[in-house]
Every structure is written in C-alpha cells, then in structure tokens.
Amino acid sequence: MVRVCEKITAKGNIQVLPGLELTHVDPVDIALLVSEARKLGAQIVIVHGETLTEPVEPGTNLAAIQSGADILAHPGLITEEEGRLAASQGVFLEITTRRGHSLCNGHVASVARKCSARLVLNNDAHAPGDFVGQQMAANIARGAGLAEEEITVMFNNSQKLIQRARA
Ligand SMILES: [Zn+2]
C-alpha cells in the first residue's frame, strides 16, 4: 500500500496517504496493531468504533482512544468520559456521511462539543459514489447540529491531520 500510494502521488494528480481502518479487532489487541501499522508505514490509522449498524466489541472505543489511533471512526453512542479522553489524547472523532454509521452523528457532535474533542468528517468511501462533495458534507454536518464555525473548524482539522500524518 505504501508503494502504491507513492506511485499514485508521483503522477501528480492526487496525493494519496497510506492508511488503514482496524475493524473487528479484540480491544486488547488494538494498541499493538496500531503500533504495527505505523511501523509498516501507515500514515493514518483509524479504528472502526462502536457504530450502531455494524457493531464491534464493547470497549473498542476506549481501546482505540488509548491506542493513540488518529481517528475513532463512527463511535456510535460514545460516552463523555471517552470524549474527554479523546480530547486529551488528540484522537479525532468522526462525523460520517456514510448511511447507517451516520445515525449517531448528532450524538458524536454533542459529546465532542461538551468534551472539547476534535472532529473530522469522513466519507467512509467504499465506491466512487460515496464521495459526497463539500456542499453535501457541510449539509450533513449541519444536520448533526454543528454550527457554521464548528463546521469550518472540523474541515480545517482534516488539513491539520494530514499535516501531522506527513510530519
Ligand atoms: Zn468502519
């Protein structure tokens, strides 16, 4: 994946970072796998959180935050305690445009606001049609109850995350 990303990026049309999403991993193994992924060259490490629609082991959200992953994706009914920990650990919480996973966007936005956790918006794209574009992404964020300035901050967080990944 690292080599493929380098080759695509070298063509000059798009910059592609190697990364992965750990899904259906026993929570006790998450920290080790995050560390292994980074050693293998993953620049963005995501953990599939406790979404309502494709559930994983309880404890996954907490283990993901403690592991120092970059993004806890679709964390479902994340607790405020986990939100505070994500804030202090610098783990981004995801607002998602993906059908099903997006059911808890409003809750995630609310917890993030209360806990000063940082958000990013992801497409969770499995196919080209899943890329919704900037305008729809902003509307989905509005639907989650985010204010305009919070949406701007969230989009800027993605830029910061990319810079951190490349550093
Ligand atoms: Zn996922």
Note whether residue 3 is domain-resident. no
Cα of 120 vs centre of ligand 1, distance in Å, is 14
**48, 73 in Cβ contact below 8 A?**
yes
Cα of 114 vs centre of ligand 1, distance in Å, is 24
- The CATH number that applies at residue 98 is 3.20.20.140
Note whether residue 14 is domain-resident. no
For the four alpha carbons of 80, 85, 90 and 91, in that order, the dihedral sign comes to: negative
Note whether residue 148 is domain-resident. yes
25-73 residue pLDDT tens: 999 999 999 999 999 999 999 999 999 999 999 999 999 999 999 999 9
22-31 residue pLDDT tens: 999 999 999 9
Q: What is the pLDDT of residue 4?
A: 97
Note whether residue 92 is domain-resident. yes
Note whether residue 55 is domain-resident. yes
Burial class (CB in 10 A: 0-12, 13-18, 19+), 47: buried
Note whether residue 11 is domain-resident. no
* Number of domains the chain contains: 1
How far is Cα 102 from Cα 136, in angstroms, rounded to an integer?
A: 13
Per the structure, the complete domain to which residue 101 belongs is given by 19-166
- Residue 20's alpha-carbon distances to 23, 33, 107, 148, in angstroms, are 9, 11, 25, 30
Note whether residue 139 is domain-resident. yes
138-159 residue pLDDT tens: 999 999 999 999 999 999 999 9
pTM of this structure: 0.96
Cα of 74 vs centre of ligand 1, distance in Å, is 7
